[in-house]
Each structure stands twice: as C-alpha cells, then as structure tokens.
Structure 1
Amino acid sequence: MRAHSTLTRRLLASTVPVTLLLGSATSLGHADPLIGNILNSYGMPGAIDTPTAEMLPDATLGATIAYTDLSRKNSIVFQALPRLTVALRYSRFDSTEESRGYVWDRSFDLRYQFLDEDPNGWRPAMAIGMQDFMGTGYYGAEYIVATKTITPRLRVSAGLGWGRLAQQGGIGSPFGDRPDPDAELGGKPNVDAWFRGEMAPFLSATWQATDKLYLTAEYSGDSYACETGDADNCQRSVWLSDGDELKNRLNLGITYRMGENYQLAGYVLGSKQVGVQFSVAMNPSQSPFPSGLEKAPAPVRPRVAQSADPDGWSGAWAADPTAHPAIQKSLGDALADEGQVLESMALDANRAEVRIRNNRYMQRAEAIGRTARLMTRALPPSVETLVITSSEDGLPTTSITLRRSDVERLENTEASQIANVAVLTNADPRPGNLVRTPGMFPRFSWALKPYLSTSLFDPDEPFRYEIGAELEAEYELMPGLILAGSVRQRAFGNQEQEAPGNMTVEEYEALDSDYDENGVPRVRSDGRMYQGNKSPTIPRLTLAWYAKPTDTVYSRVTVGLLERTFGGVSGEVLWWPASSPLAIGAEINRVKKRDFRDVFGFRDYEVTTGHVSAYYEFDNGIAAELAVGKYLAGDKGATVTLSREFANGWRVGAWVTKTDMSAEDFGEGSFDKGVTLSIPLGWGTGQPSLRRVGGDIRSLSRDGGSRLRVQGRLYDKVRDSHSGQLYQGWGRFWR
C-alpha cells in the first residue's frame, strides 16, 4: 500500500499545477481553436513527426496508419473537447533483444490548446502536450508549441520539446534531469519524467500548394536513436534495432487530401528513411445522410371547428364503451407503422396517456414527436392534454405532457418552442386506469444474424477474430419479466483456445485451479480458454425482472448465465429523478465461473462483487461515472468513466480503474484502463435504427479491476428517456 500512496502523492503534485494552468488559460483566448489540416505520423494534428498547436474540429474521430522501415504506428485520435485532443497508439518497431524480432508498444497522448491565435495580430495559438505519457515511455515526450498563420496558405510552428523531441540539439535542462526509463513501468503515468531532462527546439512549416496538396518541412530533435542503433542516446537500449543513422535533422513531407475525410502522405526522414501514411477523420455531426432517409411523419391534424363536431368537442363520446378500444387499436396500428409499440393507454374526455416502446429511433425525442402527431389524428377533439410515457421493457421511465393546442400551433416552428411548453415528469409506476393493449403479453421475438468477435493488441497476433452465426431470442412473459438468451456457432477465424502463460491447454486444465502463481484469481486472463469452440456455445441465458418501486427508483434482478465467463445472480437499484443530472445506483452480484467447454457447467471459483455508483450528466453530452466497490478478482477500488454522446448517437468514452491489487500482481499495464466507441448504424445508412457497432478497446485483458458484464444495467436502459439525453436530441422532435 505504501507504493500506491507514494504514486498518488506524485500524481497530485504533478497534475494539480498543470490542471490549474490549463483551467486559468482558458480565459486568455476567446476565438475558436486553431484547426489543423493534416495529421502527423503520431495521428495528431501536426507536421510530420513534430506537433503543432492545432486542434481538430470538435468531436472529430480519426485514425492513422504510418509506415517506415523504422516503425509502424497505428493511432486513433479524438477531439474530446474543442481544445483537448487525445490519442491512443499501437506501434511496432524492430528489436534485436526480442525473440520475435520486434516489439508492439501501446501509448497515449494528450494535447491542450491554452491560447488562441489572434488572426489580426501577431499572437500565435499555443498548446501544451504529453506524448506517451502513460506507458513504457518509448515515444515519451512533452512539449510547448506555438503555431501562427502567416498567410492563408502558410503556417509555421515552433516549440520546445523534451524526451524523444530532445534526443539531439539540447539547450539545457531547466527542470532537472530526466530519470532513466523504467522498462517495467507498463501503464503507469511517467510522472518523474514529465518536462525533465534536455530541452530542444523544433520547427515546422506547412504550405498549402493547392486546395488538396500540402507541403511540409520540419526540423526535429528526434534522432530516432532506438530505431537507428544510436545506443548512447536511445531511451530504450534494450529495444535497440540495427538500422542506419539518419543524415540530418530535416524531414520533408507531402500530403494529399482526398475529400473531407481522407489523407495520403509521404515523407523522408533525415534524408534517409522514406515513409507513407494514410489517415481518415470523421466528425459525428457530419453524417453521410444529415437529414436521414426515414419516411416523413404524418402531419398534425388540426381539430375541426366545434360546430362541425359538437359531440366530439363535448366529450359525449367518452360514454360509449366501444370508443376507447377502437381508438386504442387505431392508434396502436399507426404507431406500429412508425416502429413504436403501444403498450397501454388511458383515455377520458379531456386527457389521453399512452405508454410507448420505441423500437426504431435513436433519439427518443423523434419517437415522442411522431407519437404526438398521431395522437392529434386519432383522438376526438375534446382531448386537450397529451401524455406520452416512455417504456423500457415494460418499465415506465419518464412522461412528456403536452397541450394539444400547442402541438397544433407549433408544428412548423423550431423544436425549441415545443420544448419550452413540454413538461417532463417521472412516470407513475402504478397502472392507474391504463388499459393494456390486447395481445401485448406474452411477447416473443428472435433474430438470426452474423457475429464478429475481435481481440486486439496481442504481440504475437495483434488482430484476432472469429466469425459465425448467432441466434438471439427474447420471451417477455409480462411487463418487466424477460427470458432472454443467445446461441453462437463459430464458422471460422484465428481465435483459438489458448492457456495463459507458456502452458498448453491440457496443462492448464490439469492444474484444476483458477488462480495464478501470485494467488490472483484468473477471472479474465484465461479468457482465451473460452475461445475456439467448434460446437455451439451459449454466451447468455438469463431471466430478468425489472420494476419501479417508486416514481424515482428502478430495480433489476437477473439470474442465469450472465456472460460467457460467469453465471449467477445480479441485483441492482437506481435512484434517478427524470429531470436530475445526478443518479445513484447500487449493484450486488453472486457469481460462479463457468466451464470452458460445457455451456451449463461451472468451475470452483465463486465470488460476491458489488459497487455503489454515482452518475452525472454534464452539458454538451458529457457524462461521468464513479463506481466504488469489489471486483471479480476480490480486489477493491474504484472506476472512473468519462464519455461524450452526440445528438446523432455517437458515443466515445474512456475509463480508468485503480484497486488495491498491486502493480506486480496485476501484471503488464499496472491497472485497468481503456476506451469505448459506439456508433449508431443509422448514422452511416440514413435509416432509423437502434442498432450500434463498436465496443471496448483495452490494451490488455487482466484480472484486476474486472467487473461483471451483465446486460441490461439500469442506467443504460433508462438513460435515453431522461432529461439530459432527451433534450440533447430534441431537435428531431418534428422529424
């Protein structure tokens, strides 16, 4: 524990001053961030290998593949905030010390633009950045850089760099010596090395020759010592390759932009090494189909004059026992054409409430808007109050109350106007006088589709995959009680059953133990023992019960085969008022490890885990979660998750978990961390759909900090219909 406390103190001492600097610097500039036109070989806005003070357009997600004889860099970059750029990189370079002849290395970058360019004066944009700040430090560097637009076609940048950017041409060490790199650091922040050691200048200039062609020159302090064999200056002499030294410090490059999203580049490093690079950058706000390809909704039907329908306006129709069933069937059929399910309906002379299940639209506001339109067409004119309650698997979440006259009056205005008169409340969990749609329950649904399972970052096989067919089925016995499962049949792929360490599968099974040599339970590190099945597998088979005990409290109990590795019982409660940005939840699980081959068999290891979680929805689609508790391997700690979701459904996030498991017991990587990406299918096809593609990207699969992967957690289930997400997508109310 002493080591962890020391690390914590070092982190606080190092990051708090930087945080204060960045926070105070935002007041220095008021213009938009300086936007870059090209990506460098590290996947960040820059020249060739050196950084600039440029940013990408807010929310841009990009990827870069850069290749030379010295190394291969595969990078993912995300403009997390208008002035904050983050990148994840997976790089390969030759090594004379490795048995396989090369090393695959993971690294993370951060850049913050703390000063805006003055387009009418001499003030440049300025940024501070850290390269490979949490990892082995092979590409470790820190920098402060300024960028200025000289003419509309010419930009120049100059900066001071440390680490890789100061392998030669140093001008001093103003902040002290840089410590020798720790080859076993593996995933910890390199706090002691930040802005330490020799400092060296770097320069670059980019000239836009044509609308699509860019020419770049840079003067760099990176001598590529490790790659070229300069042992005296190499930060990682153990990874030394046998390449040839570069002739000089000048790099030249050319970049060709193919449309708005693609770039192809070539460059020469030090008049010696030739490199090529391909980059792609996409902005979630720039969909290939900005308006979507869904059919237009039915228009609002204004009510006829009272003289034209005196019985409809008087409410006398409500006394007819056949009126309610007829209206409910008519409305239910119309909603079904819109991809909605009318679960139940309450109707009297002046008020109508519907509980709908959205099966089509990514933004809940679009489903609500289309429902409101159809209600004006199906209801008698005396009904003035419209209540639309969202339901998730029979669980009422929130209610939107509208005046019918407002819907009629504001149909052709901005969506913000209808938002101003809409009232969002917690849905009443009691059925009241709601009448369930006949034949609604029980409900059975199934789907047969292909699946793709992938695994990344294995040094021996960086990309593993498995392709096959998956049958999913769901049987909803009554509102909130759901039996669900899936069956998979592998077709082909290179994911095969493998034992951890250097053991064979037979040797590992003969151990009959779920603990490693340090006594740590193997809850994820033997995950490949579950792969490569030639016979059908059952990843999940569960019975779940969802309920809403009060207006603001949700509950879930799930029992069965919860995930491919564990089965048991999972229980959860969530407190979340409809208009509150804050939600608090608690979860407890009693699970047992599943057998590697027998889909209904179990191994000996069992554990009780649980977490208390706080969720907060900030503006601009940013959400945060703090979960504190006990993990699958019995370690205790906390997970911090940050994510950003955009109005069109794109979601990008990252998480970090730190527990009381030591870095030695955890192994390479030191602690659990990763990023998550979720892209709605409708963004690329233009067709409305709730389906998503993406998943978690983690550099390593370790036992420490591992949580149960149970489906249907309450926060994710009800989030789309609560105020933050609902109003973020409110612009599609009239779609």
Structure 2
Amino acid sequence: MRAHSRLTRRLMASTLPAALLLLLPPAAGHTDPLIGKVMNSYGLPGAIDTPTAEMLPDATLGATINYSDMSRRNTLVFQALPRLTVALRYARIDSLQQNRGHIWDRSFDLRYQFLDEDTEGWRPAVAIGLQDFMGTGIYGAEYVVATKTINPRLRVSAGLGWGRLASVGSIGNLGDRPGPDENEGGKPNVDQWFRGDVAPFINATWMATDKLSLMAEYSGDNYACETGDRDNCSREAWVSDSDELKNRINLGFNYAIGQNYSIGGYVLGGKQFGLNLSVAMNPRQAAYPSGLEKAPAPVRPRVAQSADPDGWSGAWSADPTAQPAIQKALGDALAKEGQVLESMALDANRAEVRIRNNRYIQQAEAVGRTARLMTRALPPSVETLVITSSAGGVPTSSVTLRRSDVERLENSEAGQIAQASVMTSADPRPGNLVLTPELFPRFRWGLKPYVSTSMFDPDEPFRYELGAELTGEYEMTPGLILSGTIRQRVLGSTKQEAPGGMSVEEYEALDSDYDGNVPRVRSDGRMYAGNKSPTIPQLTLAWYAKPTPDVYTRVTVGLLERTFGGVSTEVLWWPSNSSLALGAELDRVRKRDFRDVFGFRDYEVTTGHVSAYYEFSNGITAQLDVGQYLAGDKGATVTLSREFANGWRVGAWVTKTDMSAEDFGEGSFDKGISVSIPLGWATGQPSMRMVGGDVRSLSRDGGSKLRVNGRLYEKVRDSQSGQMYQGWGRFWR
C-alpha cells in the first residue's frame, strides 16, 4: 500500500504542471504574456530572490552570472514558448563538509504563465513554477505567483512557495515533504513537489528611469544551509558558515546597459551583498535584420516575340553548342552567389538545374536567387523552371515555377510566388541531366583554429583546449565523399586523465574497458584529451544515395569519431512535403586507441536506432530514437528543438535506458541541451557556419549514441518543405 501511495503521489505531482500547460489556455483577447525586464539571482524574470509571473520575450536566450558570499550561480535561460520558460543552472555552494570546500551542483527550472494580465481590469498574470525540480534539490522549490502592473513604472507580485521559499513564515502544510535522496541525483524529485510547508512571498519592482529599476521583496528563504543552521538544513553536506541573515527583507537594483545587457546589485536580509550580471539575445533581433549580402541580380523579363523570333520558337535547342554555353554561363553566375551548379537539363520549353547551396542559411534564398539568374541566362522559349536542391551529392526536393510568374511577381510579397510554385520530392534518376564539366572530382580544404570545452567537473568546472584544425573533403563523384580532420593542440587546461583514480599508464594497460558491468564508452573520454601530438578526430568515406524519390541512404566507414571507428549505415524515408520522417541506423563500431590515431582497443559493439521525426508548423521539431546504445543498453531518446527562420536552434533531449540506476551512476538517465547560432545573425554576412554546441549535465556511459557526422535527417532537412517555407520570406532577398 505504501508503494502504491508513492506511485500515486509521483503521478499526481508530475501531472499537475502538464495539466496546467495543456488545459489552461490564455484568456481570450489577451494573447501577449506579461514581459519582465529584470532577471533575479536564479536567472529568471523576477525581483531579487523571489519569482514573478513575468516571461521573457518569446525565443529569448539569456545567461546570468550571480555572485554573493553564499553562492555563485551561472544560469542559462530560454523562453521556449511565449509562456514557457526553461533554465539550466550550475551553482557553487560553499560547504564545510567537502574536501574542496564547496559543492558544484546542476539544477533545472520550469515556469509557465497560464493566466494573462487584464490590463484594463484587476486580474493579474499568474504563473506556476518548479525550481531545481530534479537532482539534489539544493534550491528545490515550487511556487504559484501573481503579478500585477499598478502603473507603467510599478509592478507588484505575490505568491505562495514551497521548499526553500517556505523555509520560514509557514502558513500551512500540505503533507510531509521528503528530504533529498542521496542516491537519486538527476531524477525528478516529484515526491517533493508542492508538499510540506507553504509560505507567502511578495516583491515590487519600480522603474525609477528607463534603465534603472529598484526592487524590494519579502522572501521565505532563510538560507539555512549556507549560514550553518544545521537544524533546518535538509542535508549536512550543504552546511556552510556564512553570516546569518538579519531579516527576510531583500533590497536591490538593476541597470540596463543597451538592449541586451544589465548589471544589478542587492543585499539579502540586511547582511549579505551580491552582484548580478545578465545578457539576453533574441533570434528576431539581429544586429543586421536585413543582412548585408549583395543584392541579387534582378529578374530579366523576356523581350517581345517579334524582337527574338528564334529564341521564342525554340529553334535554338537544336544547336548542340547551346546547352554547354548556357550551362557554363549559368554556372559561373551561380558560383558568384555561393551556389554550385551540379547538373542541368535543358530543352525548348523546360530547364532543370541541380544546385548545391554553400552560402545561404535558408535554402529558399538560394532557390530565389537561382530563379532570378535563370531568367537572365535562358532563351525566352523556356517557360518551366525546375530548381532541384542537392545535399551530399543527392537530389532532395524540386521547386517548379513558371517563368512568367517569376517575371510577374518579382516585386510582390514572397507568399504569392510560394502559392504559384510546386514543391515535390526530387526524382533521383539522372534523366537527361548533364553534369557540369570538370566539377568532379572536387577537393576542398580549410585551416582554422578550434576551441574544445568541457564543463561540470566538480574539481575543475570549466576546461578548454585551443589549437589548429585542418579539414579536407574529396568528392569523387556526387554522393561519394572522403573527408577528414587533423587537430594540433596548442594550449589548454584539459589533460589526459584516467577514471577511477588510476594513472594513465595503469588504465592503458587494462585488458578490459569495463567498469564492473558497464563498458566505458564515454566515462574515460579524458583519456583522449590533452594529446600533444596531432590527432585525427574523424577520417571517413561516405556514400549517399537516393534509391527512390522519398528514400535516402548513407554508408560511412572509417574513423567515425574520436572514440569509435567502424561502419555506420542509415536509411531515411522523407517525402519532401511531409511533416513526418522515419529512419533507421545500424552501426558496427570498435573503440579507438587513446594515443595511436589508427589503433583500436578490444571493445566492439553493434548499436543503432529506429527514429521518427515530426516537424510542427511553429518551428518545433520532435524526435524519438529507440534502440541500442554504445554500452549495449537499450532504451529511447526524446529530443525537442525549436528553430527560427534565421537559423537559430535551441533544443533539449532526455535518454532513458534499461541500465540500472546503480550501474548508470548519479543522474540515472542522460539529458542535455543544445544551442546553435548562425554566424550570419551577428555579422549580417551570408554564411552557413554555426556556433554553439551541446551542454550535458554528465558524461556517463549509459544512453550514449555514436557521434557520426552527416546523418541523413540533418543533411536533407534544409530543403524539405517545412524548412523551405519557414524561410520563404527570403525568396526575393
């Protein structure tokens, strides 16, 4: 009966936030959430320590650094939806019980604004939040908060809090609140949600000027652990010896520096001082919204039939020198636009080109510029224009246009040419397409600096490595690509380290790569770091093909990533106009040697997944992978990401497998976030280069996937209908 009660509590606690998300829509007539301008010490919209019901502008990606004598909090926050805020925090808390004198702890937050403010009445905005809702729960709290705009410069918030927000001043109790579980780090602590003492909090923010905000609040957090109050601290390992607060009143200020930065200071309980720095970026607020790329060549309307009777009649198509000349001229013009004309088919009334986009983040811009150039290069009898996008040497989708529509709609909104176009899956058969002469084989190379980082090590939270990276790609024929990367470390704080307290030499001499029942597939990753001699992270031969209009295949062999080499195979079904894609991957890989770039160790495994992808109309993509991971464990990964028309992408994933919590270690399942920002968003210059990467809470062996480059979904998606039409506004750019 006790187990049943525990399960029931978990289900009810986890269902409450989901129910609010799904069943409490915003009030009719009030579609915009209440937006906040001040980030609190936890990195979310708020006052000083306490929350508000405010949101950030939709899609905002922000970061906060908070410092006080009692803690250091570094928070990454994302406004995932207009009313849903998510945050990842990495905090240092001083502790008398730790050899290093402090604890580094990860925490996650969620906040949802389920009721809008009535600007003409008295109804406030109302939000519900989970603070540090999984793991150790150092900052664990839940709250319901209401915020009301009293006048254009004054906002007041009041709410009820549980957990840390109810350390003192309790006005009631909603059952026992279990203490943190030492053995369940990284798990949602649903048994604690909205349980135990409940206490009120209140805060007010006054905009003294357009840049300066002053805040005052009453908080129920007495910082028991940080101030050495062992009787009220939920875990002995957190106890520190900072000065005890005098009261529950906190005062602070925040000063905006430009549009994206702010600095603030505060005093907690009349005793402890702190500093808050924050930055916020929004994909929709680029430094150069229209870009700085050179304007495209204008559409060239056809001359009257009487002025060029031979061109209009199509007689030119009988001349065997016509297509080569036209193909060369068009290819040269496209090259100036950062496009590669792979092949072309041409007759009296129809022209098809296969292009590879190497410059524009949105494929629609590449298609639009190609259409303009086709009107300038083709004889007037050609009315049908087919522009086929190519990725990895295989055709993906085809956009068919009437030339007369291109001429007629050049100065209209992009939506009109979208309605006049037809998009289909590209036919993989070459037909009468003619490869551009001397295009293949193609060789490209580049030399650039690289930066490699790792985070969340309690002994050294941030490690880095700087060096030079030489990349090369040799494309023998369309779809058959030999590529590789050589890196030379120059400097950095990363070094070669063995797990389990062993020396590097001892670990290298082991006959087995197992830690008990679990093979070390990621937990010994530092054995691959800190090499002073050149390394080869990747050296592969990949073959991409398209056996049917809706099916793509890939075979990759070689050194697939720094840790594994072998063979990776993949198949993807994805009609160009479908929101759903299905795929399967099967790999046979072996673990690479730590020092010898071409050597291998004994561990060998078969891994692979079946996958489903679904793209929603609002830029959100859901992905489900089910299969076997590198450590032999079986399970599933769920990934959610949001992408914007300018190429920004922010996502999160969670993986759960059949590996036991004991074997997995702290966390019990894998999770993390990814951020990808196009370089052109900041520079204004067209570029397909991206900056960013993954942030994962732990590097564990369970739930680890192969990191092979060139997976089909990422190769194909830019030219499928979802991405194409999301960026269609740049067709005429």
- Same topology, TM > 0.5: yes
Whether the 8 Å CA contact 1:72–1:91 is kept in 2: the answer is yes
SS in structure 1 of the partner of residue 724 of structure 2: helix
1:605-684 map, 5 Å: 605-684=603-682
Cα deviation digits, residues 38-60 of structure 1 (max 9, x gap): 10011000000100000000000
Tell me how far 1:5 sits from its aligned partner. Answer: 12
Please give the alpha-carbon distance, in whole angstroms, between the structure 1 residues aligned to 2:671 and 2:10. 17
Conserved? CA contact 2:292–2:685, under 8 Å: yes
Equivalence map 1:299-378=2 (5 Å): 299-378=298-377
TM alignment of 1:218-367, pairs within 5 A: 218-367=217-366
2:594 maps to 596
Structure 1 residue 11: Cα displacement: 4.9
The equivalent of 1:487 in structure 2 is 486
Over 3 Å counting, the alpha-carbon distance change for 1:8 and 1:425 in structure 2 is farther
Structure 1: runs of 5+ lacking an equivalent: none
Please state whether the residue corresponding to 1:507 is helix, strand or coil: helix
Do residues 97 (structure 1) and 100 (structure 2) align? no
Relative to 1, partners in 2 of residues 1:88 and 1:375: Cα closer, same or farther, differing over 3 Å? same
Match of 1:689, SS state, is coil
2:53 partner letter: A
The amino acid that maps onto 1:311 is D
Alpha-carbon distance in structure 1 between the residues aligned to 2:54 and 2:48: 13
Pairwise CA distance, 1:428: 0.2
Partner of 1:133: 133
Instruction: Determine if contact 1:29/1:116 at 8 Å carries over to the other structure.
Output: no
Are positions 1:713 and 2:690 aligned together? Answer: no
Whole-angstrom distance in 1 between the partners of 2:232 and 2:185? 21
Aligned to 1:412: 411
Aligned-pair distance for 1:510? 2.6
Instruction: Give the partner amino acid of 1:228.
Output: T
- Measured in 2, the distance between the counterparts of 1:599 and 1:114 equals 54
Cα offset for 1:4?
A: 13
Q: Which moved more, 1:23-32 or 1:330-339?
A: 23-32
Letter paired with 2:636: A
Deviation at 1:6, TM superposition (A): 11
Write out per-residue CA displacement over residues 616-655 of structure 1, whole angstroms, 9 at most, x where no aligned residue.
0001110000000000000000000000000000000000
How far apart are residue 180 of structure 1 and its match?
A: 1.6
Q: Equivalents in 2 of 1:8, 1:673: separation in Å?
A: 23
- Map Cα deviations across residues 117-158 of structure 1 (whole Å, 9 max, x no partner): 000000000000000001110000000000000000000000
Structure 2 residue aligned with 1:533, among 527, 531, 548? 531
Question: How far is the alpha carbon of 1:509 from its aligned partner?
Answer: 1.8
Instruction: Give, in whole Å, the separation in 2 of the partners of 1:614 and 1:646.
Output: 21
Which amino acid counterpart does residue 488 of structure 1 have in structure 2? R
Query: Are the aligned partners of 2:97 and 2:236 in contact in 1 as well (CA < 8 Å)?
Result: no
What is the rounded CA distance, in whole Å, between the counterparts of 1:192 and 1:8 in structure 2? Answer: 9
Could you list the per-position Cα deviations for residues 447-505 of structure 1 after superposition, in whole angstroms to 9, with x for gaps in the alignment? Answer: 01111010011111111011001110010011100011011111010110000121111
1:394 matches 2:393: yes
> 1:196 maps to which residue?
195
Aligned partner of residue 548 in structure 1, secondary structure: strand
Q: SS where residue 592 of structure 1 aligns?
A: strand
1:283 & 1:571 partners in 2: Cα distance?
A: 38
Amino acid at match of 1:37: K
The answer on whether the counterparts of 1:136 and 1:184 sit within 8 Å (CA) in structure 2 is: no
Give the AA of the match of 1:629.
Answer: G
| Residue 163, structure 1, aligned to residue 160, structure 2 | no
Distance 2:268 2:99 in 1: 28
How far apart are the structure 1 equivalents of 2:120 and 2:436?
66
- What whole-Å deviation, never above 9, does each CA across 1:23-76 have from its counterpart, x for those lacking one? 121153541100001100110000001000000000000000000000000000
Q: Distance in 2 between matches of 1:523 and 1:564?
A: 11
Match of 1:522 among 520, 523, 532: 520
Q: Conserved in 1, the CA contact under 8 Å of 2:65 and 2:277?
A: yes
CA RMSD of aligned residues (A): 1.3
CA distance in 1, matches of 2:584, 2:9: 32
| Pair 1:458-2:418 in alignment | no
Residue 572 of structure 1 corresponds to 570
User: Contact 2:26–2:116 at 8 Å: present in 1 too?
Assistant: no
Residues 301, 651 of structure 1: CA spacing in aligned structure 2 closer, same or farther, 3 A cutoff?
same
Cα-to-partner distance string for 1:278-312 (whole Å, 9 max, x where unaligned) = 00001011000101111000000001111111111
Change over 3 Å in CA distance of 1:550–1:10 after alignment to 2 = farther
Tell me the distance in 2 between the aligned counterparts of 1:339 and 1:243: 60
**AA at the equivalent of 2:633:** D
Local SS of the residue matching 2:373: helix
Relative to structure 1, the CA distance from residue 6 to residue 575 in structure 2 (aligned partners, 3 Å threshold; closer, same or farther) is farther
8 Å contact 2:6–2:191 — kept in the other structure? no
Listed as ranges, the gaps of 5+ residues in structure 2 are none
In structure 2, the residue corresponding to 1:22 is in which secondary structure?
helix
Q: Structure 2 CA distance, aligned partners of 1:202 and 1:172?
A: 14
CA distance in 2 between partners of 1:7 and 1:382 (Å): 76
CA contact (8 A) 2:158 2:203 kept: yes
- Identify the residue that residue 434 of structure 2 maps to in structure 1: 435
The equivalent of 1:583 in structure 2 is 581
Tell me the amino acid that sits aligned with residue 275 of structure 2. V
For 1:710 and 1:71, the matched residues in 2 are separated by: 39
Q: Distance in 1 between matches of 2:160 and 2:192?
A: 15
Aligned to 1:501, the other structure's residue is in SS state: helix
Identity %: 77
Query: Which letter maps to 1:362?
Result: I
Residues 249 and 21 of structure 1, relative CA distance in 2, 3 Å threshold: same
Aligned partner of 1:254: which letter?
Answer: F
